[in-house]
Amino acid sequence: MKFFIDTANIEDIREANKLGILAGVTTNPSLVAKEGVSFHDRLREITEEVSGSVSAEVISEDAEGMIEEGKELAAIAPNITVKVPMTLEGLKAVKAFSDLNIKTNVTLIFNANQALLAARAGATYVSPFLGRLDDIGQDGMELIANVAAIFDRHSIQTEIIAASIRHPIHVTDAALNGAHIATIPFNVLSSLVKHPLTDQGIEKFLADWNKQK
Ligand code: E4P
């Protein structure tokens, strides 16, 4: 499983990129709005920093508008992936982008049929939202496992991005259940390296080292 970062914050993206594990970035309109910057300018900065896929979401609700917006986004840099919501209009747009060789990430996936439809329309990625399903008492991880099983069974190449990740257990379980990618907020990404025994071990090694005569 690969790691994407789920943010539009350029400092966090730069910091994560230094770790040598960053394969891409996902943004959404809420994350961009939090930054208070021009969307296109920020996408330029991100695509200069990260060579992997950078998802940029359209806000139009009709296919025609999505296609127009998506073409403009895709023109910013070759590694832009156009993020499209899971609707009937979204599927039409995904098909059009696929014909134009523009990569797509179909977002707001909450059941396996939505994932299968997106894949068949030509999506490069699908993003099932784990955390938001858990929030309403449904099993987000079961969705990842089901989508992975269906894609495997039907030899579908579309990659599964485990999204709406809230904590480290989501990350481990997404990997175990067949997600190709997890897109993770910076605070969760940083917490993945932590273990109290690692900290204690470092402290003890240093204390012993300093006892040397
Ligand atoms: C993914 O592409 C989405 O931007 C994101 O994971 C949504 O997460 P949230 O449910 O924490 O807003």
Query: Three-state SS across the chain?
Result: CEEEEECCCHHHHHHHHHCCCEEEEECCHHHHHHHCCCHHHHHHHHHHHCCCEEEEECCCCCHHHHHHHHHHHHCCCCCEEEEEECCHHHHHHHHHHHHCCCCEEEEEECCHHHHHHHHHHCCCEEEEEHHHHHHCCCCHHHHHHHHHHHHHHCCCCCEEEEECCCCHHHHHHHHHCCCCEEEECHHHHHHCCCCHHHHHHHHHHHHHHHCCC
pLDDT under 70 in the chain at which residues? none
Under a CB-based contact definition with an 8 Å cutoff, are residues 13 and 50 in contact?
yes
What's the CA-to-centroid distance between 213 and ligand 1, angstroms? 54
Instruction: Return the pLDDT at 213.
Output: 75
End-to-end CA distance of the chain: 46
Find the residues whose C-beta lies inside 6 A of ligand 1: 6, 26, 28, 107, 127, 129, 131-132, 163-164, 183
**For ligand 1, mutation pick of 129, 133, 143 (most atoms within 8 Å of CB):** 129
For ligand 1, atom 5, the nearest C-alpha belongs to: 164
List the catalytic residues: 83
Could you give the CA distance from residue 70 to residue 49 in angstroms, rounded to a whole number? 21
Q: For ligand 1, what atom is nearest to the CA of residue 28?
A: 4
What's the CA-to-centroid distance between 101 and ligand 1, angstroms? 25
Could you give the CA distance from residue 161 to residue 112 in angstroms, rounded to a whole number? 13
Instruction: Return the pLDDT at 21.
Output: 97
Instruction: Return the pLDDT at 212.
Output: 87
Mode of pairing for the β-strands spanning 181-184 and 159-162? parallel
